Structure 1
Amino acid sequence: MTNDDSEAPGRSCPLRYRYGASAIARSPLIDTETLYVVGGLYGNLQALDTIENLVSSETGDVRLCFNGDFNWFNVDAPSYQAVMSRVLEYDAVLGNVEAELGMDGADAGCGCAYPDVVDSAVVERSNRIHARLKETASRHPALTTRLESLPMFARYRVGHCQVGIVHGDADSLAGWRFSRADLSSAGADEWLEQVFSEAEVDVFASSHTCEPVLHQVTRDRGLGVVINNGAAGMPNFQGQLSGVITRIGVAPFSASSIQGAKMIERTLIKGVEIAAISLPYDHEKWRTHFLSNWPQGSDAHTSYYARIMGNL
């Protein structure tokens, strides 16, 4: 089922989301030897525990950047407070979830800018999920106000590789052009050549579409890579109960002492490893907490419980 109402809440892309790739080039470069990029935590505190353990196991200069939608299912006050206070200790950029938390009204709904191929019922449930989260956020204005200082993108230098961190795509916070379908469509590589050049980066790291992808394109100036980690806080592959995060490092990812954390896919660019890393977490504890907020019949249960159980 499709919906062609592009201005409906949850489908529209607010003008304030649109920055253009050239704006990324004006963002200051942050130097590090290892960069973890975490998109789509969705309020999963058990996944956050594993992320912090992974980062603490690294040696050398390491940075952690949350690229949006670190909130979603965490509609109870303790979880909202815990996610916000812990995530904001690190680098972070806005996702559509966070961008809409402090906004008056609900014209943009969840702000996801869902494409027409997404069923209208899914969009409506997402809008109601966000409305419930927004109600929780309204009771913690000091935390929510801290989101106002977050950028929509960031730029890092890892070794000789420059990395653009976005939530959606190169042009918009809620853009879908880094989705698997769009990256494989006709004309995608020409657009990528343009936005890599405009942003002055070798790699784009995103999330938003909630599906992992590692896409390479041959450019006039060398290889370009788009990596989308899918979701850190939910399963990404059939039958697997773990999230996925992105790791970009001068040194390769070594076998982790955290059981289940392993490299799924990798590529090299300018001697720097770009890798998708599986993220195990205490699934049963997370499932129990999810159900305490979203029992059977609730909007989030209807939209996400099958995926949370590894049924994609």
Structure 2
Amino acid sequence: MNIPGRSCPLDYNIDQSLFAKKENDIICDTVYIVGGLYGNYQALEEIDKIVKSEKSDCIIIFNGDIHWFDKDYEDFVRIENFVRTHIPLLGNVESELIRDKDINVGCGCSYPGCVDDDVVKRSNIIHQEMKDMVDINSKIKDEIKKRQKICIVKVGDKRIAITHGDEKSLAGWECSRENLLDINRQNELISWFKDNDIDVIASTHTCAPVALKLENFAVINNGASGMPNFKDKHYGIITRISKCKSEKAIYSSKIDYIYIEALAVNYNINEFVDWFDNVWPNNSPASISYRERIIKGTADNIEDAILSGFEIN
């Protein structure tokens, strides 16, 4: 039985043969990976500044959940007009926005049992409000339907697999901290890296950042680019993978000559809160679920995100 917000649709499964198709690799010197923007336009403006200051040949991949708080048409389109000029992938938010027939999976987050039922219910309501808007705008749906679940970027001779959840499913949770601490999961990933000639997997989805180096491979989950990730820190986080080192990295690691880094997105918090409160007033589903995090950050410290092989800068 499908439980809205907890079930993972079968069509979220990722075809494993896609990881081996090297002819589709995107080649660049630097890739920025922006997961979990959640409709935060102020964060998007800051990301644009960060990327424009880059001196190397770089690209931006938006690996899903680009939208969330931007339920109003004008706000949604403002985000879309920017991301479509780069490389946007599907997250569960977008996948359920474009689903024509309701299969009772709600927001498609596939929340694990540790997430409270009320949080899940509110997420379904938030998503439905956005879907009601998208359903009457066919051009938006047609644009999003073109997006893929994964892409492979090649920086130097390193292949980076970019997805929303994990290597198995668009809404998979196996790149969460809890799962990555499991030695069996670590061994599974090492085998997967070797079998698919992949050096790094970059994900998001869980809304909590995590970084792990395994032998000469790495997993990096940026948490959220459009919301705070740490205690008393207002910034979002994006992933940067490059031939050259950034002086702005919060924490980083290195595989041979390739740098894998987490960068802060110091967006204008006051402007974002004003906008958020206007769209999601007090006692609305998003306000109840997210406003405290937006104002105060989470309960995590930066050290909590690093499992092994990364250093705080």
Give the drift of 1:210: 0.5
Partner residue of 1:280 out of 247, 253, 266:
266
Partner residue of 2:213 out of 212, 216, 229:
216
1:99 counterpart residue number: 95
1:73 counterpart residue number: 69
Letter of the 1:144 counterpart: K
Letter of the 2:11 counterpart: R
For 1:136 and 1:106, the matched residues in 2 are separated by 19
Give the drift of 1:199: 3.3
2:252 counterpart residue number: 266
2:8 counterpart residue number: 13
2:293 counterpart residue number: 307
TM-score (norm 2): 0.92
2:305 counterpart residue number: none
For 2:281 and 2:66, the matched residues in 1 are separated by 21
Partner residue of 1:148 out of 145, 150, 171:
145
For 1:85 and 1:140, the matched residues in 2 are separated by 15
CA RMSD of aligned residues (A): 1.2
The answer on whether the counterparts of 2:234 and 2:297 sit within 8 Å (CA) in structure 1 is no
Q: 1:275 aligns to what SS in structure 2?
A: strand
Letter of the 1:25 counterpart: A
Give the drift of 1:302: 0.7
1:120 counterpart residue number: 117
TM-score (norm 1): 0.92
Does 2:185 match 1:188? yes
For 1:85 and 1:12, the matched residues in 2 are separated by 31
Partner residue of 1:226 out of 198, 203, 219:
219
For 1:199 and 1:112, the matched residues in 2 are separated by 26
Bigger shift: 63-72 or 131-140?
131-140
Give the drift of 1:296: 1.0
Q: Give the percent of matched residue pairs that are identical in Structure 1 and Structure 2.
A: 39
Residues 50-83 of structure 1 deviation map (CA, whole Å, 9 limit, x = unaligned) = 1111111111311000000000000111111101
For 1:141 and 1:85, the matched residues in 2 are separated by 15
Q: 2:160 aligns to what SS in structure 1?
A: strand
Q: 2:33 aligns to what SS in structure 1?
A: strand
1:257 counterpart residue number: none
For 2:78 and 2:92, the matched residues in 1 are separated by 20
2:237 counterpart residue number: 244
- Map residues 46-85 of structure 1 onto 2, 5 A cutoff: 46-85=42-81
> Number of residue pairs matched?
296
The answer on whether the counterparts of 1:43 and 1:70 sit within 8 Å (CA) in structure 2 is yes
Residues 109-131 of structure 1 deviation map (CA, whole Å, 9 limit, x = unaligned) = 00010111111111111000000
The answer on whether the counterparts of 1:22 and 1:198 sit within 8 Å (CA) in structure 2 is no
Q: 2:296 aligns to what SS in structure 1?
A: coil
Give the drift of 1:26: 2.4
2:40 counterpart residue number: 44
2:281 counterpart residue number: 295
Give the drift of 1:194: 2.5
- Map residues 163-182 of structure 1 onto 2, 5 A cutoff: 163-182=160-179
Give the drift of 1:147: 0.9
Q: 2:254 aligns to what SS in structure 1?
A: strand
Unaligned runs of 5+ in 2: 299-313
Letter of the 2:2 counterpart: E
Give the drift of 1:140: 2.3
